[in-house]
Amino acid sequence: MNKFGKIWVFATLFLSTAIVTGQGRPGMDKIKSLKVAFITERVGLTSNEATMFWPVYNEHEDALAQIRRKERLEIRSKMVDFENLSDTEANKLLDQLIELEKEKQELNVEFLSNIREVISPKKTFLLIKAEEDFKRRLLKQIQQRRQGGG
């Protein structure tokens, strides 16, 4: 088994434990640790790159999390009962959603501009792929847990 395979086996076991034991913050911390290891391995960050990369990446993730939280609190919570919203309220809510989407887009563009100063363009694309792969594997693990198969 290659180095990545060993890391993934460990990560899968770790993730399974995180999903089973943690609905709160400790589980999220474990998932974040797995994501850090996964991205570091997939992107092939050197120790110098990692030193510069993770502060930029974490700042970006924190800013995105704030926008998602705002979206959840201000918009998604009201969409549960959207059938009872007036057209005016729905329009206002849609304007808020559009603004938050613009914020996310601007944040992502800024991140890509900043990260290219820290890692090569090729590694930037490896990062994008690694994030997608991690998310896909995480969702697969969650689905397997819910189905009792894993």
pLDDT tens-digit series, residues 65-76: 999 999 988 887
Closest CA to 140 of 8, 50, 12, 22: 12
Q: Are the CB atoms for 50 and 123 separated by under 8 Å?
A: no
Task: Please indicate, yes or no, whether residues 41 and 59 belong to a single structural domain of this protein.
Answer: no
Task: Please indicate, yes or no, whether residues 57 and 88 belong to a single structural domain of this protein.
Answer: yes
Total domains in the fold of the chain: 2
Domain membership of residue 21 (yes or no) is yes
Domain membership of residue 123 (yes or no) is no
Domain with 104, as residue range(s), is 48-118
Tokens of 145: 């847990």
Domain membership of residue 139 (yes or no) is yes
Tokens of 57: 């990446």
Domain membership of residue 17 (yes or no) is yes
Task: Please indicate, yes or no, whether residues 137 and 87 belong to a single structural domain of this protein.
Answer: no
Read out DSSP for 33-44? HHHHHHHHHHHT
Q: Are the CB atoms for 11 and 48 separated by under 8 Å?
A: no
Task: Please indicate, yes or no, whether residues 56 and 37 belong to a single structural domain of this protein.
Answer: no
**Is pLDDT larger for residue 3 or for residue 83?**
83
Tokens of 17: 């434990």
pLDDT digits over 65-113, tens only?
999 999 988 887 777 777 888 899 889 989 999 999 999 999 999 999 9
Task: Please indicate, yes or no, whether residues 70 and 112 belong to a single structural domain of this protein.
Answer: yes
pLDDT digits over 29-72, tens only?
889 999 999 999 999 999 999 999 999 999 999 999 999 999 98
Cut 0.85: pTM above it: no
Domain membership of residue 8 (yes or no) is yes
pLDDT for res 145: 86
Task: Please indicate, yes or no, whether residues 52 and 111 belong to a single structural domain of this protein.
Answer: yes
Task: Please indicate, yes or no, whether residues 83 and 136 belong to a single structural domain of this protein.
Answer: no
